[in-house]
Structure 1
């Protein structure tokens, strides 16, 4: 079993763009967005991925995650079966010390929402918080991608 430990923050400025080492275009949908098990299909540039996530722990930092690379064609076919609410976004990768922040700039109905995530080795691991990091939203379910696919940012 693979456990994902991450913290999630809103982003206060676009300063991260100047130090990002990579930018990807991501399109994703959900075959199942039940709170007990999320099944996501994602296209990241020319690669496809199928991901299954379990429920989060009480703090919202830790949950089971399994991911398998699939072809872009397979992912495109699976996207056609997804629940309503396909998400599109740009993901920027920013290295700060020993960690990588993934900053998602959402597009479409979620335009204006920018969220940063950092994966950790333990829930109490220390990490540097850059000046562009805003309010922490770890465990707030309305910021989960599976939820913003159903209730987009522009309807909040």
Structure 2
């Protein structure tokens, strides 16, 4: 249940040509405490509840527990979430031995595009696609739970 991932800014739209899947996500948070977050995410007729723990010092790993829940229940839970929500398109791109998840944010976070790659080990090597930009792993401002309160549109 430990998630290991690295996060990067995306410097071009070339990932869209390579994408095998595009999905719209709507998500909000029941809790955005620094020690733990509890997220509700809906995509079509699928919903998930995810609990994430505090990141390691280097930002590469943290506890993650995820469970599929009924969409009707998820919609009810959204009503009691903290104010704000995240809407984004997620693209999936296979590159080398890994699948990159690229999030193109909408609404208050429009213009922000982030790529994540999950790893089996913190020292695992991976092939970086040409559209991958600056690494932002561990940068708290790029956590989805923080983008609700400090949206990208207010960064400039």
Cα displacement (A) at 1:71: 1.3
1:68-124 Cα offsets, whole Å, 9 max, x none, are 001111111111111111000000000012100000000000000000000000001
Cα distance in structure 1, aligned partners of 2:123 and 2:36:
25
Residue in structure 2 matched with residue 136 of structure 1 by the alignment: 135
Cα distance in structure 2, aligned partners of 1:80 and 1:121:
36
1:99 aligns with 2:109: no
Cα distance in structure 2, aligned partners of 1:133 and 1:45:
28
What SS does structure 1 have at the residue aligned with 2:67?
strand
Cα distance in structure 1, aligned partners of 2:86 and 2:130:
27
Gaps of 5+ in 1: none
Residue in structure 1 matched with residue 47 of structure 2 by the alignment: 48
Cα distance in structure 1, aligned partners of 2:22 and 2:44:
10
What SS does structure 2 have at the residue aligned with 1:125?
coil
What SS does structure 1 have at the residue aligned with 2:153?
helix
Cα distance in structure 2, aligned partners of 1:7 and 1:92:
16
Cα displacement (A) at 1:45: 2.1
**May I ask how many residue pairs the two structures share in their alignment?**
155
Moved over 2 A (4+): none
Cα displacement (A) at 1:150: 0.8
Moved more, 4-13 or 73-82: 73-82
* Root mean square deviation of aligned Cα: 0.5
Cα distance in structure 1, aligned partners of 2:98 and 2:149:
31
